[in-house]
């Protein structure tokens, strides 16, 4: 076997699993498709990770997690994992760039922001349509912006966009936000932010660049147009689990089912973080699950190799 454990995904869950596996003296590889840090690395400011009274930037927190795991010997490479082959002797994690054999696998592949699925969204992506305020917000200085969604991400990122934008309109399909109360209060108190309630965006308008959105009030059926230079979409997440279809049990949306020990339906395969079916999606829960997954993986590997303590 090349490794004791291969971890797929380098967000907070995967990096914590890597830290714990490496500290457990397991030969561990973490494979990340892009840059380590996951969605947390594109979050401007994280206010609810314990130990940082003033909050901490997403990139800073996740880079520190990476350095900490590497200090204990975690190997990190870049590859796009496309399959997992399981056999009695062990597993092969199949990437576009290579095959990695191991005794146990921890799936920490996270989730990707969902698309809205309306006309104009694809054609104007990168031309005013964005899914990452931290990445693209600064391009919209003194512009009118629209944010779609009512969860933590929509409201937090809407707040972040007020640093640059002239106005930020949050368009939500209901008349109550899903976001945490503390975030809601900040948004209600921000004079640049206004809300368009009970409304859905039916089309994103513009030829070369976003020029506006067509909005339908779901209660009255009224249609209207809102002019804007940018549209930030935050309507939830889809799990990065397609490569495991048919290999481990998932719910109807593709979130992986595990028990409390982060074991999936496939022996030797564990999962943690946003790719799991669960109620609370936070950096802190991903980290806790990463620690739990690595503990279970360690027990599995030691039993398999006959090195478990009696
Ligand atoms: P989310 O909590 O699932 O919220 C998605 C929002 O988009 C909801 O308000 C939903 O409306 C709306 N929505 C869904 N589909 C839609 C559609 N087709 N058209 C219009 N609106 C639609 O997703 P999220 O805000 O991206 O957050 C994902 C997870 O990460 C959550 O668990 C969240 O708590 C967590 N997170 C936490 C923080 C933090 O703690 N600071 C920050 C970011 C994310 P309804 O409300 O009507 O369903």
DSSP secondary structure string for all residues of 244-288: GTTTS-B-TTSPBP--TT-B-SSTTEEE-GGGB--S---HHHHHH
Q: How far apart are CA 168 and CA 300, in angstroms?
A: 50
Atom of ligand 1 nearest to the CA of 154: 25
- Average pLDDT value for residue range 69-76: 97
* Residue 62 included in any domain: yes
The verdict on 44 and 15 lying in the same domain is yes
Beta strands in 62-164 (DSSP E): 75-78, 81-86, 91-95, 99-107, 111-113, 129-130, 144-148
Average pLDDT (43-62) is 95
Mutation test residue for ligand 1: of 184, 235, 276, 278, the one with most atoms within 8 Å of CB: 235
| Cβ proximity of 152 and 180 under 8 Å | yes
Q: How far is the CA of 155 from the centre of ligand 1 (A)?
A: 9
The CATH code of the domain that includes 263 is 3.50.50.60
pLDDT at 310 over 60: no
Question: 272 catalytic, yes or no?
Answer: no
- Is the pLDDT assigned to residue 308 strictly greater than 80? no
- Final residue of a domain: which of 171, 203, 233? 233
Does the residue 76 lie in any domain? yes
Quote the ligand 1 centre to 93 CA distance (angstroms). 31
Counting the structural domains of the chain, the total is 2
Can 135 be counted among the known catalytic residues?
yes
Closest Cα to residue 160, out of 134, 178, 184? Answer: 134
Atom of ligand 1 nearest to the CA of 47: 41
Asked if residue 210 and residue 290 are part of one domain, the reply reads no
- The number of residues making up the chain comes to 310
- The pLDDT score that the predictor gives to residue 309 is 60
Catalytic residue among 132, 152, 198, 272: 132
pLDDT tens-digit map of 181-228 = 999 999 999 999 999 999 999 999 999 999 999 999 999 999 999 999
* Residue 210 belongs to some domain of the structure: yes
Q: Cα of 250 to ligand 1 centre, how many Å?
A: 20
Q: Which atom of ligand 1 is nearest to the CA of 155?
A: 25
Least confident of 26-30, 43-47, 67-71, 240-244: 43-47
pLDDT score, position 88? 84
Q: Which residues line ligand 1 (CB under 6 A)?
A: 48, 116, 148-154, 156, 173-174, 178, 200, 234-237, 281-282
| Mean pLDDT estimate for the chain | 96
Domain coverage including residue 56 = 3-113+237-305
Considering the domain architecture, whether residues 30 and 100 belong to the same structural domain is answered as yes
Closest CA to 12 of 274, 299, 239: 274
Considering the candidates 2, 136, 144, 198, report the single residue annotated as catalytic.
136
**What is the per-residue pLDDT across 172-188, written as a single tens digit (0 to 9) for each?**
999 999 999 999 999 99
Q: Of 183, 200, 233, which residue constitutes the final position of a domain?
A: 233
Give the model's confidence band at 89: pLDDT under 50 very low, under 70 low, under 90 confident, else very high: confident
Q: Cα–chain-centroid distance for residue 308?
A: 34
Residue nearest to atom 40 of ligand 1 (CA): 282
Would you call 102 a catalytic residue per the annotation?
no
Q: For residue 291, report the distance from its CA to the centre of ligand 1, in Å.
A: 26
Within a domain: 123:
no
Read off the pLDDT of residues 107-139 as tens digits, 9 standing for 90 and up.
Answer: 999 999 999 999 999 999 999 999 999 899 999
Instruction: Quote the pLDDT of residue 306.
Output: 84
The single residue of 122, 135, 222, 251 carrying the catalytic annotation is 135
């Amino acid at each position: 076997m090349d490794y004791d454990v291969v971890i797929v995904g380098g967000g907070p869950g995967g990096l914590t699993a890597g830290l714990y596996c490496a500290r457990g003296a397991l030969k561990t590889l973490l494979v990340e498709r892009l840059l380590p840090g996951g969605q947390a690395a594109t979050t401007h400011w994280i206010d609810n990770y314990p130990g940082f009274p003033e909050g901490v930037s997403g990139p800073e927190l996740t880079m520190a997690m990476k350095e900490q795991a590497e200090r204990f010997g975690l190997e990190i490479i870049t590859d796009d994992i496309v399959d997992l082959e399981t056999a009695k002797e062990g597993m092969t994690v199949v990437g576009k760039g290579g095959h990695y054999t191991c005794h146990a696998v921890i799936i920490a592949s996270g989730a990707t922001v969902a698309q809205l699925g309306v006309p104009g969204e694809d054609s104007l992506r990168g031309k005013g349509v964005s899914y990452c305020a931290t990445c693209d917000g600064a391009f919209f200085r003194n512009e009118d912006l629209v944010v779609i969604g009512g969860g933590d991400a929509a409201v937090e990122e809407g707040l972040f966009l007020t640093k640059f934008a002239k106005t930020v309109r949050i368009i939500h399909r209901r008349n109550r936000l899903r976001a945490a109360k503390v975030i809601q209060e900040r948004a209600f108190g921000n004079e640049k932010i206004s809300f368009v309630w009970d409304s859905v965006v039916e089309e994103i308008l513009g030829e070369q660049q976003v020029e506006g959105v067509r909005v339908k009030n779901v209660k009255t059926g009224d249609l209207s147009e809102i002019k804007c230079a940018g549209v930030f979409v935050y309507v939830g997440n889809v799990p990065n689990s397609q490569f495991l279809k048919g290999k481990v049990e998932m719910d109807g949306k593709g979130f992986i089912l595990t028990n409390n020990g982060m074991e999936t339906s496939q022996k030797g395969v564990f999962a943690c973080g946003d790719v799991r079916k669960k109620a609370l999606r936070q950096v802190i829960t991903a980290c806790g699950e990463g620690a739990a997954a690595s503990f279970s993986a360690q027990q599995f590997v030691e039993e398999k190799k006959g090195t478990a303590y009696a």
